[in-house]
């Protein structure tokens, strides 16, 4: 599939999960395809980074489910900050581990899972729909019942995949991409390179095969497709580009220029513009 | 002259940032074989100092997914990896309790409620900050300390706008499941070391950094603060500790960017 074909499978109003973490191995080529599409009114579930920032800037988010939205080396995502301060979308603000257990509950087809996290914090105040559950055993503990984070579609980016959807991560952290795929009705995997399944073993041990084809609807080959986030060990974060993104995001005129230069064409146009940007800095 | 003898009087060559490093390191004293999770440069130097001196069993990470077996300088690449701690397993360290985190705080109240999420009304904040991140799970599951590089009435407030990290009053109100593993250990600032070792478990000053007066701390705190007349000074670093800070852990002096002297 192509990134635009993936976006063509999505519908306005869907709940979409986006893998990666912060500014790390985000399916940015698929997010850019979403920006080019007329899909909007989304509920986005993400350990947020520039994926959330770009969708927020384009006005495509109706509701965000997140514990944070960060660029990592730049602590706060500027589009996210601006959108929150304008009150642009609803937010379900969860703790990082509540988020993980919400994904886990969804993958196990459970309505909720009990966690200690959240007790006593204002996560309970700002999400009045959250309920507690009491242990039926002798301890009688009262814990937070984190609801399952089911999603219509998941978008993730991995290092390698085969044409059937088995996908491999080669960096130090799998993040939660397997949970996103398992928690979704449809999941789309973009990857640096589509390889024959026979090549997986040479690249890494079996435990690097994170995502199984039974959970994957479509596979997309998008070299540099996590740019400008990191995709270790294929490439690190493009810090100069991210800094330029953050700077542009803070100013409407600069953002129009940035959009015209980088986000007004297809993925190949984007990658060519990024290469030109790198040349200028070199 | 032996600089190790200079314990009674403040030593002119020790910077404020170095007292802060020592105070952060002290937070992890006696912690044994658990993960030290420092957030910020000064806490990171402190955790590494504790590991190289009085808390040798501490686990440290590279700030990402690796548990490091050596203690490189801040910013340097570790040579030894002794374990794997991707986010999903890091969260198990938190809930399993074998971890002591030192977080930042945009706001902190006298009960230890901490805010890193946003300033103003949560629905449409005046200033969006980091979000709650892992503060709720941290505070309710493993020992938690805080690092405040600029002690001020903007940080130490009567009431935080969004409880991200859970304080003593809020944990008590939430019941036994919330208090079971709740432990706020220390608050280290550029002026003082504070803890909650009072009958009602509210903040008090444990020690003042050399050169800092009690009134200065009171004025920089947005609520009445207990400071005993005989409050001690933050202890002096040993010559060996200074050597480790200056030549091994932070030779680039990154600690001085976080603490104004």
In order of A228, A267, B248, the CA distances from B238 in angstroms are: 45, 58, 15
Q: Do B86 and A172 touch (CB under 8 A)?
A: yes
A250 touches chain B (CB under 8 A): no
Q: With CA atoms as reference, report the closest residue to A91 among A59, A67, A64.
A: A64
What are the chain A neighbours of B180 within 8 Å (beta carbons)? 116, 141
Q: Does B112 contact A at CB distance below 8 Å?
A: no
C-beta separation of A123 from A94 below 8 A: yes
Cβ–Cβ gap A98/B181 under 8 Å: no
Of the residues A96, A132, A250, the best mutation for testing chain B's interface (the one with the most B CB atoms within 10 Å of its CB) is A96
**CB spacing of A126 vs B122 below 8 angstroms:** yes
pLDDT of B144 > 70? The answer is: yes
Looking at every residue in chain A, the average pLDDT score rounds to: 98
Omega before A234 within 30 of 0, i.e. cis: no
For residue B179, pLDDT beyond 80: yes
Q: B177 vs A84: CB contact, 8 Å cut-off?
A: no
Chain A within 8 Å of B46 (Cβ-Cβ)? Answer: no
The pLDDT score that the predictor gives to residue B3 is 42
Pairing of strands A151-161, A15-18: parallel
A170 touches chain B (CB under 8 A): no
Average of pLDDT values for A232-259? Answer: 97
Tens of pLDDT, residues B63-94:
999 999 999 999 999 999 999 999 999 999 99
CB contact under 8 A, A85 and B123: no
3-state secondary structure chain A: CCHHHHHHHCCCCCEEEECCECCECCCHHHHHHHHHCCCCCEEEEECECHHHHHHHHCCCEEEEEECCECCCCCCCCHHHHHHHHHCCCEEEECCHHHHHHHHHHHHCCCCEEEECCCCCCCHHHHCCCCEEEECCCCCCCEEEEEECCCEEEEEEEEEEECCCCCEECCCCCCCCHHHHHHCEEEEEEEEEEECCHHHHHHHCCHHHEEECHHHCCEEEECCCCCCCCEECCCECCCHHHHHHHHHHHCCHHHHHHHHHHHCCCCHHHHHHHHHHHHHHHC
B7: Cβ–Cβ under 8 A, 6 or more apart, which residues?
Answer: B235, B236
Q: Which of residues 181-210 of B touch A (CB under 8 A)?
A: 181-182
Provide the pLDDT for residue B11.
Answer: 61
Q: Taken in order B160, B165, B167, B170, is the CA torsion positive or negative?
A: positive
Comparing B119 with B260, the larger pLDDT belongs to B119
In the prediction, which pLDDT does B12 show? 72
Q: Does A277 score more than 50 pLDDT?
A: yes
Return d(Cα A218, Cα A33) in angstroms, integer: 15
- The token duo for B43 is 């806490």
Residue B260 pLDDT? 76
Q: In the beta sheet, which residues pair with residue A187?
A: A154
Model confidence at B6: pLDDT above 60: no
Q: Does A175 touch chain B (CB under 8 A)?
A: yes
Q: Does B6 touch chain A (CB under 8 A)?
A: no
pLDDT digits (tens, 9 = 90+) for A194-228: 999 999 999 999 999 999 999 999 999 999 999 99
Classify the C-alpha dihedral A37-A39-A41-A43 as positive or negative.
Answer: negative
A-chain residues near B86 (CB < 8 A): 172-175
Mean pLDDT of chain B: 95
* pLDDT score at B93: 96
Per the structure block, which two tokens stand in for A120?
């006593």
Q: What is the pTM of this model?
A: 0.96
Closest CA to B23 of B174, B187, B178: B187
Please give the Cα distance from B12 to B173 (Å, whole number): 47
A87 → closest Cβ in B124, B133, B175 = B124
Whether residue B77 lies within 8 A of chain A, CB to CB, comes out as no
Chain B interface, best mutation among A119, A143, A237, by max B CB count within 10 A? A119
Hey, are the CB atoms on A122 and B88 less than 8 Å from each other? no
As a whole-number percent, the residues of chain B with pLDDT over 90 amount to 94
Which of B89, B46, B45 is CA-nearest to residue B67? B89
CA–CA distance from A157 to each of A55, A76, A168, A239, B22 (Å)?
17, 22, 10, 19, 43
**Nearest CA-CA distance, residue B111 and chain A, Å:** 12
pLDDT tens digits for range A39-91: 999 999 999 999 999 999 999 999 999 999 999 999 999 999 999 999 999 99
Query: Helix (H, G, I), strand (E, B), or coil: what is residue B46?
Result: helix
**The tokens 């947005």 sit on which residue?**
B222
The single-letter DSSP state of residue B244 is: I
Which residues in chain A touch residue B94, judged by CB atoms under 8 angstroms apart?
A: 97
- Indicate which of B131, B162, B169 best probes the interface with A, i.e. most A CBs within 10 Å of its own CB: B131
Q: Name the closest residue on chain A to residue B173, using Cα atoms.
A: A120
In the block, which residue shows the tokens 């200079």? B6
pLDDT computed for residue A63 by the predictor: 98
Structure confidence at residue A200 (pLDDT): 98
State how far the alpha carbon of A255 is from the alpha carbons of A41, A168, A217, in Å: 22, 35, 34
Residue among A47, A131, A141, A53 at smallest CA distance from A97: A47
Whole-number pLDDT of residue A281: 85
| Among A119, A149, A123, A148, CA closest to A134 | A119
User: What are the counts of helices (DSSP H) followed by strands (DSSP E) for chain B?
Assistant: 9, 13
Q: Chain B: nearest CA to A100, how far in angstroms?
A: 8
What is the reported pLDDT for B153?
98
Best B128, B133, B142, B162 member to test A by mutation, with max A CBs in 10 Å, is B128
How far is the alpha carbon of A12 from chain B, nearest alpha carbon, in Å? 24
User: Which band of pLDDT confidence, cut at 50, 70 and 90, is reported for residue A182?
Assistant: very high
Looking at residue A21, its pLDDT comes to 98
How many angstroms separate the CA atoms of B160 and A206, rounded?
Answer: 47
ipTM: 0.96
Which residues in chain A are closer than 8 Å to B162, comparing Cβ atoms?
A: 122, 126
* Cis? peptide before A233, omega within 30° of 0: yes
Structure tokens at B156: 């130490």
What is the percent of chain A with per-residue pLDDT over 90, rounded to a whole number?
Answer: 99
* Residues from chain A contacting residue B118 (CB–CB below 8 Å): 84
What is the Cα–Cα distance from A273 to B5, expressed in whole angstroms?
A: 63
Closest CB to A116 among B117, B140, B173 = B140
């Amino acid at each position: 599939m192509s990134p635009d074909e993936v976006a063509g499978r999505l519908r306005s109003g869907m709940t979409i999960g986006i893998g990666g973490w912060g500014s790390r191995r985000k399916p940015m080529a698929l997010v850019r395809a979403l920006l080019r599409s007329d899909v909007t009114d989304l509920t986005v579930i993400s350990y947020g980074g520039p994926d959330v920032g770009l969708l927020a800037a384009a006005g495509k988010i109706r509701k965000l489910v997140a514990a944070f939205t960060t660029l990592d080396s730049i602590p706060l995502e500027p589009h996210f900050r601006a959108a929150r301060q304008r009150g642009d979308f609803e937010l379900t603000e969860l703790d990082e581990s509540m988020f993980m257990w919400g994904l886990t509950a969804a993958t196990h087809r459970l309505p909720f899972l009990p966690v200690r996290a959240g007790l006593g914090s204002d996560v309970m105040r700002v999400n009045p729909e959250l309920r507690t559950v009491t242990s039926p055993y002798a301890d009688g503990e009262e814990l937070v019942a984190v609801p399952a984070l089911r999603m219509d579609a998941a978008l993730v980016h991995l290092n390698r995949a085969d044409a059937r959807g088995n996908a491999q991560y080669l960096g130090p952290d799998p993040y939660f991409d397997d949970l996103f795929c398992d928690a979704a009705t449809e999941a789309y995997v973009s990857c640096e390179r589509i390889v024959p399944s026979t090549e997986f073993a040479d690249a890494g041990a079996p435990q690097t095969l994170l995502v199984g084809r039974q959970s994957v609807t479509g596979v997309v080959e998008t070299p540099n497709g996590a740019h400008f986030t990191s995709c270790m060990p294929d490439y690190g974060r493009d810090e100069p580009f991210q800094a330029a993104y953050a700077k542009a995001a803070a100013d409407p005129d600069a953002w129009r220029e940035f959009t015209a230069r980088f986000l007004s064409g297809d993925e190949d146009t984007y990658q060519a513009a990024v290469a030109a940007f790198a040349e200028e800095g070199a | 002259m032996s600089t190790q003898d200079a314990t009674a009087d403040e030593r002119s060559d020790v910077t404020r940032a170095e007292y802060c490093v020592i105070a952060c390191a002290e937070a992890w004293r006696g912690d044994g074989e658990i993960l030290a999770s420092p957030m910020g440069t000064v806490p990171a130097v402190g955790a590494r100092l504790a590991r190289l001196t009085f808390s040798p069993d501490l686990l440290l990470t590279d700030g990402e997914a690796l548990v490091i077996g050596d203690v490189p300088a801040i910013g340097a690449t570790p040579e030894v990896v002794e374990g794997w701690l991707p986010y999903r397993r890091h969260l198990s360290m938190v809930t399993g309790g074998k971890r002591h985190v030192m977080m930042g705080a945009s706001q902190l109240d006298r009960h230890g409620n901490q805010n890193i999420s946003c300033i103003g009304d949560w629905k449409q904040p005046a200033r969006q900050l980091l979000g709650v991140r892992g503060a709720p799970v941290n505070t309710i599951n493993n020992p938690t300390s805080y690092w405040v590089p600029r002690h001020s009435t903007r940080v130490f407030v009567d009431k935080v706008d969004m409880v991200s990290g859970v304080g003593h009053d809020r944990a008590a109100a939430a019941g036994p499941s919330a208090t079971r593993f709740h432990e706020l250990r220390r608050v280290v600032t550029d002026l003082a070391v504070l803890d909650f070792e009072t009958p009602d478990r509210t903040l008090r000053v444990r020690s003042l950094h050399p050169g800092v007066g009690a009134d200065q701390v009171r004025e920089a705190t947005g609520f009445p603060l207990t400071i005993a007349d005989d409050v001690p000074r933050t202890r002096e670093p040993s010559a060996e500790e200074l050597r480790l800070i200056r030549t091994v852990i932070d030779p680039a002096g990154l600690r001085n960017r976080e603490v104004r002297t």
